[in-house]
Amino acid sequence: MECALKACIAKATQKHDFPDLESVKSSYSHKFSQLRKVANLADHYELERSTNPAFDSNWKIVEPWGPESRYRVISGTDAEEFLFAVRNSKGGVLP
């Protein structure tokens, strides 16, 4: 998810852009909320969460991820649930 949000930021950045310092600092964050703002997806995210219960449920599964998650051992069931929450074509975080 972090990489996907950072890809959105990169795609929106033009060759000769000179972004403000706060946007640059926020781009290096691992926090999804900050990355959504820099990627200009915060409003869409809030609207989708309020109108699409599946999207909201899937974000509740994905949101707790953080850099330290890379070092935790998780069950196969939890990994499958996470991937489903991301990939689900009907309300997934990245359909």
DSSP per-residue string spanning 1-12:
-HHHHHHHHHHH
pLDDT of residue 18: 87
**Diameter over CA atoms, the chain:** 45
Tell me whether residue 69 is exposed, middle or buried, using C-beta atoms within 10 angstroms of its C-beta: 0 to 12, 13 to 18, 19 or more.
Answer: exposed
Low-confidence ranges of the chain (pLDDT < 70): none
pLDDT attached to residue 37: 94
> Residue 16: phi, psi to the nearest 5?
-105, 20
Q: Map out the domains of the chain as residue ranges.
A: 1-41, 52-95
How much is the pLDDT for 14? 86
